[in-house]
Amino acid sequence: MNFFDKIGKIAIGSRLRMLTEKITEDAAQLYKSYDVDLQPKWFPVFYVLSQGEEKTVTEIAKEIGHSHPSVSKILGEMSKKGLIREKKDKTDGRRNIVGLSKMGLQITEKIEVQYGDLEGAIEAITQQTQHDLWKAVAEWEFLLEHKSLLLRVQEQRKARESKNVEIVNYEPKYKEVYKTLNAEWISTYFKMEDADYKMLDDPEGYVLNHGGHIFVAIYNDEPIGVCALLKRTDPEYGYELAKMAVSPRAQGKHAGWLLGQAVIEKAKLLGADKLYLESNTLLKPAINLYHKLGFNKVPGRNTGYERVNIQMELQ
């Protein structure tokens, strides 16, 4: 069985690299057969310069999508072969302008025949295939430009791991983790305040006994996150999402999202028209999460915390 048939799409990088190596090897032989003194890796730079306009290294790099150091290295190799000439930019003496030398221009004339034969050969291959590789590559490039393969794999990992996260109701055995997780993030960015100690030292008396609820995220039998739903005395904002904390060691498992969803669903069951929260814009991941959950910024109002500089609500 062919290795790539056996291993499947996870070896796409290796398969594309082998295909690239095969085509590059043929290209090197192709240049020799047409008596063209070029290396395949030089081609993008050579082609841009062969269009007749002198360019800076930066302009070439931008046009062909290569890095500046990569283009500089290729130009250095082409210069040793006598294919290019450089001169100072008249408008900016710090920049060099690059163009083809007399020898490079001779290759431009010679290579035109090769272009025609090569295009005909590629077209013949395309006619024998079910899928247009050129269009497929363009589609992949477009999609990966908007979201990299790395990010897509990370999303798959988060989705897989989040399936193992369970949201449960608070029990006395979670009292210490409820306090520890919150105190950890608060102390990292701010300072513990009186209101923090009241809610964290006595979750039963401050939250549960006043019509509130606390949820705990469990992953592999270990509590990794907590979040409270407070029953407020203010009739305008009857319920508040508060004290959400996820262990830094458990980031990426969507625990915050799942806790937020649990709080929102509970608030709906309790008949809440809207849900309120207080935060600080320094906590960008948290603010982004709240936006994803549907919260929007509202005008500031009196709060019991010094660190609060943004207030949000969910209708």
- How many Cβ atoms from other residues are within 10 Å of residue 87's Cβ? 10
State how far Cα 314 lies from the chain centre. Answer: 27
The reply to whether 302 falls in a domain is yes
Q: Which of 242, 229, 259 is nearest to 168 (CA)?
A: 259
Regarding whether 185 and 102 lie in a shared domain, the answer is no
Q: Which of 265, 93, 250, 70 is nearest to 164 (CA)?
A: 250
Specify the pLDDT at position 96.
Answer: 83
Quickly tell me which residue has 């008949």 as its tokens. Answer: 271
| Element spanning 218, H or E | strand 213-219
Specify the pLDDT at position 160.
Answer: 83
Q: Rounded CA gap, 61 and 64, in Å?
A: 6
pLDDT over 90 at 234, yes or no: no
Number of domains in the chain: 2
Specify the pLDDT at position 109.
Answer: 87
57, 68 Cβ separation under 8 angstroms: yes
pLDDT over 90 at 236, yes or no: no
In this prediction, what percent of the chain has a pLDDT beyond 90?
74
Average pLDDT over residues 187-202: 92
Regarding whether 207 and 170 lie in a shared domain, the answer is yes
Residue range 77-104, pLDDT digits in tens: 999 999 999 888 777 767 789 999 999 9
Q: Rounded CA gap, 311 and 313, in Å?
A: 7
Q: Please, what is the average pLDDT of the chain?
A: 91
Q: Which of 280, 281, 268, 282 is nearest to 315 (CA)?
A: 268
State how far Cα 169 lies from the chain centre. Answer: 33
pLDDT over 70 at 110, yes or no: yes
Expressed as residue numbers, the domain containing 68 is: 34-135
Regarding whether 292 and 186 lie in a shared domain, the answer is yes
Regarding whether 285 and 180 lie in a shared domain, the answer is yes
pLDDT over 90 at 155, yes or no: no
Regarding whether 274 and 195 lie in a shared domain, the answer is yes
Residue range 8-65, pLDDT digits in tens: 999 999 999 999 999 999 999 999 999 999 999 999 999 999 998 899 999 999 999 9
What strand order describes the sheet that includes 222-231? 165-169, 213-219, 222-231, 239-246, 275-279, 310-314, 296-298
Confidence of residue 251 (pLDDT cuts 50, 70, 90): confident
Regarding whether 301 and 228 lie in a shared domain, the answer is yes
Specify the pLDDT at position 238.
Answer: 82
Confidence of residue 157 (pLDDT cuts 50, 70, 90): confident
Specify the pLDDT at position 161.
Answer: 79
Regarding whether 187 and 309 lie in a shared domain, the answer is yes
Last residue of a domain, one of 74, 100, 135: 135
User: Given 3-state DSSP classes, what are the helix, strand and coil percentages for the chain, each rounded to the nearest 5?
Assistant: 55, 15, 25
pLDDT over 70 at 235, yes or no: no
pLDDT over 90 at 139, yes or no: yes
Last residue of a domain, one of 118, 135, 152: 135
The CATH number of whichever domain residue 248 belongs to comes to: 3.40.630.30
**Burial class (CB within 10 angstroms; exposed 0-12, middle 13-18, buried 19+) of 295:** buried
Residue range 254-309, pLDDT digits in tens: 899 999 999 999 999 999 889 999 999 999 999 999 999 999 998 877 787 889 88
Regarding whether 257 and 201 lie in a shared domain, the answer is yes
Average pLDDT over residues 144-153: 93
66, 72 Cβ separation under 8 angstroms: no
Q: Rounded CA gap, 277 and 289, in Å?
A: 12
Confidence of residue 133 (pLDDT cuts 50, 70, 90): very high
The reply to whether 289 falls in a domain is yes
DSSP 259-312: HHHHHHHHHHHTT-S-EEEEE-TT-HHHHHHHHHHT-EEE-----S-SS--EEE
Q: Is 37 helix (H, G, I), strand (E, B) or coil?
A: coil
Greater model confidence, 76 or 251: 76
Specify the pLDDT at position 135.
Answer: 93
Specify the pLDDT at position 237.
Answer: 66
